[in-house]
Structure 1
């Protein structure tokens, strides 16, 4: 039993859609990994230059808000 041209075209379109969906998924995953890496690197720089390793996340936020206020007043 042979496929009609329409059936063939539908299968081809489904395959193309699946390929595009996979490509989109890979791109989103790469963007997430890139963001995670960037955030880790920035956090490490903050700890290094401001010596805030011992602060909690909440304390770090307060520190940064206070620093921003001092910079705005300068």
Structure 2
């Protein structure tokens, strides 16, 4: 697995000078994405809609709205 590029603005560009809140999105060499965020699995696992599920090895991760909005322009259409 290899990170190819950051998707969107860096945490510093989004105002995280302290390093305390650094959600991030990366595109991987295989075309998939990796996300750094806050693990909220325990809080949201029971809130998933009936047609959603997660495997034992998967986690529900929270990223800020600013992280995703700033990444929008860098997300490929296909």
TM-score band by shorter chain is under 0.3
* Structure holding more strand per residue: 2
Using CA pairs under 8 Å that are at least 6 residues apart, name the structure with larger relative contact order, 1 or 2.
2
TM-score by length of 1: 0.17
TM-score by length of 2: 0.17
